[in-house]
A and B are shown apart, each in its own frame.
Chain A
Amino acid sequence: MRTVALILSSAVVLAALWWGLKPTTSAPSEPQLRQYSLAFSGQQYQGPATLTAYAGDTLRLNVVSDSDDAMHVHGYEKHLVLPAGELTTLEFTADSTGRFMLELHGNDLQFGTLEVYPRQ
């Protein structure tokens, strides 16, 4: 009897807290196109340190480098060859949620992160 009371009271406490604390979602209801511009000059990165998206969004990364290089989005395993001085675009759907490293292969520079949040 005491065990049943323990389980019931625990469930009530947990459910009440969940109901009271869970906020309404702040994510847009529909997937969006999110564009970011990234530039590399003399091994220096110019652009946002964190690229943010919600699950299902389309990401368009416009990248330019002043030397031949390649960029890697970890987790998504997207690789983008960057010919010197050319604007190159990488577009993909952010279908996996999480935090993914962005790396410039030339000097193993981990220059930023992509954060993809769940929509709800």
Chain B
Amino acid sequence: MAFAASVGSTAVHAHSFAQPYQLPMPYWMYIYGAMAALALSFVVLAFFLRETPNAQQPRHLLLGQLKMPWLRRLFQTLMFASIVLAIVAGIIGNQDSYRNINMTYFWIVFALGGCYLSALVGGWYDAVNPWKVSVEVLSKRWPVFGSGYIAYPKRLAYWPALAQYMVFIIIELFGDTRPFSLSVILLAYTALTLLGSWLFGSRQWFYYADLFSVLFRVIGHMAPLQKNAEQRWVLQWPFAGLIGQRATHPSLLIFILFMLSSTAFDGLKETQLWFNLFWKDPWNILTPLLGEHPIYAYPYLRPWFIAYEVFWLLLSPLLYLGLFLGFLWLGKTLSRSDLPLTELTARFSYSLLPIALVYHITHYYTLLLNQGVKIRGLISDPFGWGWNIFGNAITGRLPIIPDMGVVWDSQVWLILIGHVASVWLAHVEALRCFNSRRQATLSQFPMLALMIVFTGFGLWILAQPLKG
């Protein structure tokens, strides 16, 4: 028993870096969240019963243009310098992940913080993207970086960005990166970006093929503060920017679904249920094959277990896609819509983003508190060599740990907010798609059921007992 517990524990590398310290949500809160999601869905449905088709237009406040190019250049310089510092620190600095600035900077501040900043200020990354800035500088000397060697093939669409996203999540969940390996990964990413820009031109590459440009742009559509088509800043309701957005290619739809499914998978893989399904062999599949119980074959079975987990991770967006298409087809059948399924898929895919965002926030936001804030101290000693440049270097690893009661409450409320936003957006989209109120309402029953499934699953994962 003790052996099994030890195996269970050592089998886990929760993330590349940092521990979320989260306890499973109490069961009653899961029930509460699920029932509240169901009830609120019908409240939203009732609200839209008397709504006129095409009446819902996003409202916004026009703020104008920000004419401070020096500010943009300042942030571009800071972003560029911080990425260079992260790469150099990983190569020459202390290899303790908590002492070297690069792990905290990249995984927590850049990757997590970047997502959440995008949800507040859309388009920030496009303005200061350090790789894009580098390519722009290079293109002044070698114009091919701007124009590209060949035209970007339409068939590629967003697939390169999706492939990078999948590799990124595999590295995050299974990579067990250290400062040096992270720097190597960042250098490889830089080389890929330069090669892609040289081959296809920076504009096309950063629009379609670059992971962080696509990820932050997609999330940025939800931001209350963002730029409109005329490059003017507008203030609008959170999530309102998703109204009218379309997934213009199946690769973008799968990208969005992977945002949802990869976070759900990360939560699921930490649960006892997921662990036991493989290592306890409840259906007696592995034991006859191995000639012994899988738990005793741990040393040589572990690489296969990781391959098995990667397989499910990569399959996960397709499972979500199957559900999405199935429920959309039901809506189309119920409403007797003439619109093809591909058109409905393109129109409704963005309405899933609020659920994806709150999944992400509830799963990872505590990392910003217990590890992200340490960036202040790490700036004083970026290489982990014992420096204290600004007098606030980290002397220990003591994290800031939020109270679990607060974490649970925030998880439930965030998931409910995301759920209501998604249901709302889908209704608005339905009113834009269909000519009659009746058709729009009928089409939304299956969508509502789908969103309850996604929300319920997200809450269920948060409430599951975790493995040892």
Contact = CB atoms under 8 A, between A and B. Distances in A.
Contact of A97 (B28, B35, B405): B405
A13 B23 contact: no
Given A99-B22, A110-B10, A18 B2 contact: no
B363 to A, nearest CB: 14
A112 B3 CA distance: 11
Contacts of A6: 43-44, 47
A97 B403 contact: yes
Q: Is the interface of B mostly helix, strand, loop or mixed?
A: helix
A55 to B, nearest CB: 8
Interface residues of A, number: 38
Contacts, number: 99
A50 B35 CA distance: 31
A112 B47 contact: no
A118 B6 contact: no
Q: Is the interface of A mostly helix, strand, loop or mixed?
A: mixed
Contacts of B50: 2
Interface residues of B, number: 36
A1 to B, nearest CB: 11
A45 B6 contact: yes
A24 B19 CA distance: 30
Given A13-B36, A21-B32, A47-B2, A97 B401 contact: yes
A75 B19 contact: yes
B6 A98 contact: no
B468 A49 contact: yes
B274 to A, nearest CB: 16
B389 interface: no
Contacts of A13: 36, 39-40, 43
Interface of B: 2-3, 5-6, 8-10, 12, 19, 21-23, 28, 31-32, 35-36, 39-40, 43-44, 47, 50, 370, 396-399, 401, 403-405, 416, 420, 466, 468
